[in-house]
Each structure stands twice: as C-alpha cells, then as structure tokens.
Amino acid sequence: MPIHPLAAFAALLYLAAAILFARRPRLPAFAVAMAAVATHAAILVGQHGGGVDLHFFAALSLVACCVTALCLLVNLYKPVATLGVVVFPLAAILLLVDVFLAPHTQPLPIDWQIKLHVILSLLGFSVLSVAAVLAILLALQEHALRARRFDGIAAALPPLTLTESLMFQMIGAGFVLLTLAILVGFLFVDNVFAQHLIHKTVLSIAAWIVFGALLYGRWRHGWRGRRAVRLTLAGMILLALAFFGSRFVLELVLKRVP
C-alpha cells in the first residue's frame, strides 16, 4: 500500500485505540493500538529508507511512535488507560503532518557511534515524555481531589499513588538513558563548538541536572506533589528545546536544512 493511504489508516487506528482505551475494553484496545504502532513503524522505515531521519517533523513522528509503544508497555505493567487517550491522537497528528505536509528527505549516513547517541537520546526523550504526560495527569488528579470533584477525568485515572510511582519510575529510566546519551555524545561527537551543538549540550545537561535533582529530592526528602510535577515539566521543556528548538528555528523559521 502507498505511504499516504497507509498513514491515514494508521491515524484512524490511533484514534480508534484512544476511543477504546477511554471506554476500557482492554484486549480490543491493545490489539488496535499495536496495529497502529506497527503501521506507524512500517511507514517510518518505508519513508526514510530504514535510516534515522532527524529533520524536524520526521524526528517528531519517530518520537511519537516510540512514545506510543512505551504507552502500551506501561499499560501491560500498570493499567493507565488515560495515557493512550492523550498520546494516541497526538501521534496520529504528528504522523499525518510528517507524511502529508513535511518535505521528504533521505537521512544522511552516520557512524554507528553517532547512531548509538541518537538512539539513546530518542529513547530517553520518549521515556521522559511519558513521565511528563503522567505529571500532567497527576496535577489534574491532585486538583480534582482538592476540589472534591471525582467525576470526569479524575474518575478515569488510577489511584494517585500509582500515577506518582509510575511517573518516578519513568523519570528514573529516562534519566539513565539520558545519562548514557550524554556520555556517548561527549565520547564520540567531535568538536561540539564547530558543529553548533553547544546549545543542545547545555540544554541537555540542564535537563539532566533538573531530573537528577528531582530523583535525589525524592530519595532524600520525599519530594512529591506540585514540586515533582513542576520539576518534571521544567526538565521536559529544557529537553524539548534541546532536541527540537534549534531544528524548529532552522527548518521552519530560517528555511535551512541543517
């Protein structure tokens, strides 16, 4: 099947999976979501020749595919159906934008060391993205509890302690991946200043410090609630700027291909 109809089909599967997760039929929701993720992955391979395309919309689509796959794994471990309701429609939008609106380029060949750095970075970003979504859900849940409103989204969420525990587990896993990505980058990326990577490095390290401080505060002082949510979102904003900020400016504002 050509890529454009396949992308439309994958987007419909994502939306159907989100609806099914909202209504809680577990097995059908998983089956449809797995089909959507598999179709999305096939499109990425077919459209970009099996390489790692780091242009703005292609990278967003790749991250969306990774995040949706992680959401399925998380729901196998601990049922948080609301994750799928939030993430799957967003993945559908990013996939359609990449296929229908973004300029198509073939990824440049890169050495295995750089590819390892990219893969670790994308995995870390994806895991921490799931943590950020959980932080938003946790904030909504705490607000509903303070307001004594137990309907709507609050009723669909798991117990607050489960959401918080899962968020910190995701932050821990993402922190490890981000640490490895930064280490590999320092070992194998030559001349950071000449390659105009200094801002990405600074922002990534700043995000690493924020997430590290949050994990330390959780372990040493029992940080939770609003402080944990704010630090999680602050770290994620820094990381998003490191990953996509410069590409947005170069490709969409200045119309340059990095």
Residue with tokens 């990278």: 59
On whether the CB atoms of residues 212 and 230 are closer than 8 A, the answer is no
* Nearest alpha carbon to residue 66 among 128, 12, 111, 5: 128
DSSP H helices, the chain, are 3-23, 26-47, 56-77, 81-96, 112-146, 153-156, 160-188, 198-221, 225-240, 246-247
On whether the CB atoms of residues 138 and 229 are closer than 8 A, the answer is yes
Q: What is the pLDDT of residues 73-108, one digit of tens each?
A: 988 877 787 888 889 999 999 999 988 877 666 666
Q: What is the pLDDT of residues 182-197, one digit of tens each?
A: 998 888 776 655 455 6
Q: What is the pLDDT of residues 99-124, one digit of tens each?
A: 887 766 666 667 777 788 888 999 99
Q: Comparing 200 with 208, which gets the higher pLDDT?
A: 208
Mean pLDDT of 218-230: 92
Q: Per-residue confidence at 125, pLDDT binned at 50, 70, 90? A: very high
Does residue 138 carry a pLDDT above 70? Answer: yes
Mean residue pLDDT of the chain comes to 85
Mean pLDDT of 6-12: 94
DSSP structural state of residue 192: T
Cα–Cα distance, 90 to 68 (Å, whole number)? 10
Amino acid at site 44: L
Per-residue pLDDT at 65: 94
